């Protein structure tokens, strides 16, 4: 016997668009379907949006998710920036706020800005906190997805084991989900452009290097929630450059935006991007070489996972494909031809909004899951 929450999933994924289709697909009686659909309408999960074409008889009302009845607040926290957004239940941004801010300032000032930005977004759009059904935050570190605590990050001193979800819940008594930024970006790219692809890998290259893996539409997190730490693969033993993790020879110490910034004598990965976009020959040469270096590791990932799409995101995705060219060179040179035959190697289509979209999708999937929906209905 399918619950109201399961009925909602049939409507969400397009399996059934009308009561008549629900009756035929589930085998439930007309009265049962009517009762469950009416409960979902009354709770604001779905609404009627017109009529379906009919081969005869009275046309049926089309059922669809009511994306505006509930709102989601999300924050994308990077090493040197913070972005907050208010979205609907299709992950569509309604309003956003951005600031240059270093996450190493610590959890108190950063999360304080997030809480205040959330309130400003609600005030600006004329919405109340009561309309918010969930909150999501993504961070540049390994996250315990269940507890909402940061497990470890080499870019976030003072954040380890900080109760992020608990702190945010003091201001908003709704489900709070916390995720790694590269994993959120991977989900955002998959949702936006690659939903027909069964396996996608996203590489974020900004201050550091991280990866997100999507398999059959789900984030792969690993046993210790640490899947995607590709930046700390040790590539060159004996190299004198020390990584943020304390080891030497990690790919992040050789090919990240911060590594390139140090080689070029500038402050940040954004400065590297500006040099490349201005046509600086040294910056272009070093950027392409960094891409080739990371591509050595990614060739192994391609052979291991055999993804259909590899997406380059983060600051270095904005280098006019110079970094991506280096990645392609190494992958095609080092991988078996049949593993790359149907592999798309591309830059992010969402750019700075990938993490916002992915984090919103994460919250949306939780809020609209059968278990959550059924527990919320009277």
The domain locations on the chain are: 4-65, 71-184+355-376, 195-350
Architecture per CATH, domain 71-184+355-376, reads as: 2-Layer Sandwich (3.30)
pLDDT of residue 239: 77
Q: How far apart are CA 363 and CA 191, in angstroms?
A: 13
pLDDT tens for residues 11-48? 999 999 999 999 999 999 999 999 999 999 999 999 99
Q: How many CB atoms lie within 10 A of CB 248?
A: 15
pLDDT cut 70: percent of the chain above it: 97
Per-residue pLDDT for 55 more than 60? no
* Tokens encoding 152: 């470890």
Provide CATH code, domain 4-65: 1.10.10.10
Which range, 166-170, 211-215, 317-321, has the best average confidence (pLDDT)?
211-215
How does residue 75 score in pLDDT terms, banded at 50, 70 and 90?
A: very high
**pTM over cut 0.85:** yes
pLDDT tens per residue, range 85-129 = 999 999 999 999 999 999 999 999 999 999 999 999 999 999 999
Task: Residue 291: name the closest of 331, 261, 264 by CA.
Answer: 331
Side-chain half-sphere of 324: how many Cα atoms within 13 Å? 19
CATH of 195-350 given 3.30.70.2520, 3.30.420.40, 3.20.20.70, 3.30.160.150:
3.30.420.40
pLDDT of residue 54: 55
User: Helix 30-42 and helix 4-12: axis angle, to 10°?
Assistant: 80
| Residue with token string 């040197």 | 80
Judge whether 116 and 124 are in contact, CB under 8 Å. Answer: no
pLDDT at position 86, please? 98
pLDDT in tens, 240-278: 788 888 888 899 999 999 999 999 999 999 999 999 999
C-alpha closest to that of 254 among 233, 227, 279, 270: 233
Q: Which two tokens stand for residue 158?
A: 């003072």
Domain 4-65 and domain 71-184+355-376, same fold? Reply is no
Kind and range of the H or E element at 133? strand 132-139
Judge contact between 200 and 308, C-beta under 8 A.
yes
């Amino acid at each position: 016997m399918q619950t109201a929450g399961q009925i909602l999933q049939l409507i969400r994924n397009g399996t059934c668009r009308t009561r008549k289709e629900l009756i035929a697909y589930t085998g439930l009686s007309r009265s049962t379907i009517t009762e469950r659909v009416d409960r979902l309408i009354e709770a604001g999960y779905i609404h009627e949006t017109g009529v379906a074409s009919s081969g005869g008889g009275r046309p049926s009302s089309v059922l669809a998710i009511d994306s505006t009845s509930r709102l989601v607040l999300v924050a994308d926290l990077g090493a040197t920036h913070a972005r907050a957004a208010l979205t609907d239940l299709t992950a569509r941004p309604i309003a956003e706020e951005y600031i240059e801010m270093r996450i190493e300032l610590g959890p108190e000032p950063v999360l304080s800005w997030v809480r205040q930005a959330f309130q400003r977004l609600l005030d600006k759009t004329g919405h109340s906190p009561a309309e918010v059904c969930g909150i999501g935050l993504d961070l540049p570190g390994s996250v315990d997805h269940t507890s909402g605590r940061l497990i470890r990050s080499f870019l976030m001193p003072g954040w380890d084991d900080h109760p992020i979800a608990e702190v945010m819940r003091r201001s908003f008594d709704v489900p709070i989900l916390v995720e790694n930024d590269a994993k959120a970006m991977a989900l955002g790219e998959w949702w936006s452009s690659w939903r027909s692809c069964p396996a996608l890998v996203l590489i974020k290259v900004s201050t550091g290097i991280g990866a997100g893996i999507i398999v059959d539409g789900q984030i792969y997190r690993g046993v210790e929630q640490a899947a995607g730490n590709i930046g700390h693969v040790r590539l060159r033993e004996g190299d004198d450059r020390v990584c943020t993790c304390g080891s030497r020879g990690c790919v992040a110490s050789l090919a990240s935006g911060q590594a390139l910034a140090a080689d070029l004598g500038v402050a940040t990965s954004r400065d590297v991007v500006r040099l490349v976009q201005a046509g600086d020959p040294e910056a272009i040469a070093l950027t392409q070489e960094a891409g080739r270096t990371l591509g050595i590791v990614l060739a192994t990932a391609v052979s291991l996972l055999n993804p259909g799409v590899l997406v380059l995101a983060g600051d270095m995705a904005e280098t006019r494909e110079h970094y991506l060219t280096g990645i392609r060179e190494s992958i095609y040179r080092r991988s078996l031809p049949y593993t790359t035959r149907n592999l798309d190697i591309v830059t992010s289509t969402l750019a700075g909004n990938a993490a916002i979209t992915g984090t919103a999708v994460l919250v949306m999937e939780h809020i609209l899951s059968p278990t959550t929906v059924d527990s919320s209905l009277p």
